[in-house]
């Protein structure tokens, strides 16, 4: 009949588990190396269920026995020193009793109360930092002198200088030796200088002395004028028809208002020559700010040469010294022929050159009678 756990004690199992016929005998080297079959038998080298049951029963019984022993130790220890005894005062008293702590009690450390010590998290004022350096990462300079501090911070000294190439933006004011402007025109305006590239002058500009000047009203006062290399003196006359440079122009006697048209052989009041090479031009209408005087007046006025030399459109042979009068072609002149009497009101001037040609071209004349 098979044994049961209740019928066999733990001690019996321990004594007989690995025994030979109930007798504890030493194991030989061959038995150890032979494995389970050599030591405890089994069927075809495999342990039987009864053998496993015996082994794990023994292990369970041992674990239970150890747990009971640990519980017993805990009860004994708690009885000797109850949890209620684990107070600060009791611990200090026990440590002092064995000479392990001196000058310590539950409320004091080294004779000082807790309020004599700083909290785990606390702060300091700058005046309480008496040595070392505060790093840049912690809001300091990481240095103990001004020069190193500036170096660490990438800062310049309070007093320092720069080269002109270091100024890359803004404008240097006049008070600091600059012009206060970013353009040449603005600079000239700010420092009261004349631009070499043109511009608008404000106020009277004097030359040499206050006697000779040009003012904002357009009035110029000079003792002499040199360098006018162009040919004639001209005036704007009211336009009565389309003309071109070199045309002879005459008063339109059939108009009720003053106007000038291309002259013909029938004209009786020749005025001059349409010029595009005058050295001085007067008349017309005043140009406003920003307007060009010539462009403003050309649509309504003809620049007519009144004195000096000017190129005129002529046809036929012309010799130096010939008087020029209008031909049958409007605006075009011709030379007065030998034995021909010209009317005073038709003569525009006399030729100062000849070319031996007879086609339509421009020749220079001295304008005026």
> What CATH number is attached to the domain comprising 359?
2.40.300.10
Q: CA 214, 215, 217, 222 torsion: positive or negative?
A: negative
Give pLDDT, residue 17. 52
Q: How many domains does the chain have?
A: 2
Q: Which of 55, 76, 97 marks a domain boundary?
A: 76
**CA 175 to the chain's CA centroid:** 27
**pLDDT over 90 percentage in the chain:** 31
Tens-place pLDDT, residues 301-315: 999 999 999 999 999
Q: Is residue 218 part of a domain?
A: no
Q: Is residue 109 part of a domain?
A: no
**Could you list the residue range(s) of the whole structural domain that residue 334 is in?**
232-367
The helix (H) or strand (E) run that includes residue 335 is strand 333-335
Q: Averaged over 251-271, what is the pLDDT?
A: 96
Q: Is residue 44 part of a domain?
A: yes
Closest CA to 324 of 310, 234, 243: 310
Instruction: Tell me the pLDDT band of 251, cut-offs 50, 70 and 90.
Output: very high
Q: Is residue 259 part of a domain?
A: yes
Tens-place pLDDT, residues 56-89: 666 666 676 677 777 777 777 676 666 666 676 7
Instruction: State residue 75 phi and psi, 5-degree precision.
Output: -65, -40
What is each CA distance from 219 to 113, 171, 240, in whole angstroms? 101, 37, 30
Tens-place pLDDT, residues 11-57: 565 555 554 444 555 556 665 555 555 555 556 656 666 656 666 66
pLDDT at 300 over 60: yes
**pLDDT over 70 percentage in the chain:** 73
What is each CA distance from 56 to 6, 49, 173, in whole angstroms? 15, 11, 101
Closest CA to 323 of 338, 305, 308, 303: 338
Give pLDDT, residue 3. 47
What is each CA distance from 233 to 146, 262, 276, 344, in whole angstroms? 78, 20, 11, 21
Give pLDDT, residue 89. 72
Q: Is residue 103 part of a domain?
A: no
Mean pLDDT of the chain: 79
Question: How many CB atoms are closer than 10 A to CB 215?
Answer: 13
Q: Is residue 260 part of a domain?
A: yes
Closest CA to 318 of 356, 346, 349: 356
Give pLDDT, residue 303. 96
Q: Which residue has the higher pLDDT, 316 or 152?
A: 316
Tens-place pLDDT, residues 151-179: 888 788 878 888 878 778 888 888 887 88
Give pLDDT, residue 231. 77
Q: Which of 76, 103, 131 marks a domain boundary?
A: 76
Q: Is residue 101 part of a domain?
A: no
Give pLDDT, residue 2. 46
pLDDT at 101 over 80: no
Give pLDDT, residue 22. 45
Q: Which of 31, 60, 76 marks a domain boundary?
A: 76
């Amino acid at each position: 009949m098979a044994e049961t756990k209740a019928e066999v004690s733990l001690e019996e199992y321990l004594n007989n588990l690995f025994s030979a016929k109930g007798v504890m005998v030493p194991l030989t080297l061959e038995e150890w190396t032979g494995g389970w079959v050599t030591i405890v038998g089994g069927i075809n080298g495999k342990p039987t269920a009864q053998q496993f049951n015996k082994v794990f029963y023994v292990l369970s019984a041992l674990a239970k026995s150890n747990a009971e022993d640990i519980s017993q130790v805990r009860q004994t220890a708690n009885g000797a020193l109850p949890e209620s005894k684990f107070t600060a005062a009791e611990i200090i008293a026990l440590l002092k009793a064995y000479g392990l702590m001196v000058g310590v009690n539950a409320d004091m450390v080294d004779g000082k109360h807790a309020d004599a010590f700083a909290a785990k998290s606390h702060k300091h004022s700058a005046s309480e930092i008496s040595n070392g350096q505060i790093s840049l990462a912690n809001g300091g300079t990481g240095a103990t002198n001004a020069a190193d501090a500036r170096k660490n911070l990438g800062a310049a000294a309070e007093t320092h200088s720069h080269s002109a190439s270091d100024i890359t933006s803004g404008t240097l004011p006049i008070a600091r030796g600059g012009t206060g402007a970013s353009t040449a025109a603005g600079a000239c305006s700010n420092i009261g200088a004349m631009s070499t590239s043109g511009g608008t002058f404000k106020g009277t500009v004097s030359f040499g002395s206050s006697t000779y000047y040009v003012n904002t009203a357009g009035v110029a006062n000079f003792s002499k004028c040199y360098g006018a290399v162009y040919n004639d003196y001209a005036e704007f006359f009211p336009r009565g028809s389309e003309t071109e440079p070199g045309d002879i122009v005459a008063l339109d006697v059939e108009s009720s208002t003053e106007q000038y048209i291309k002259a013909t052989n029938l004209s009786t009041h020749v005025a001059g020559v349409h010029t595009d090479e005058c050295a001085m031009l007067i008349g017309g209408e005043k140009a406003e700010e920003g307007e060009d005087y010539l462009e403003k007046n050309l649509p309504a006025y003809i620049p007519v040469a009144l004195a000096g030399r000017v190129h005129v459109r002529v046809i036929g042979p012309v010799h130096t010294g010939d008087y020029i009068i209008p031909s049958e072609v409007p605006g075009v002149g011709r030379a007065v022929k030998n034995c021909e009497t010209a009317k005073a009101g038709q003569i525009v001037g006399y030729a100062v050159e000849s070319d031996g040609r007879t086609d339509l071209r421009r020749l220079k004349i001295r304008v005026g009678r």
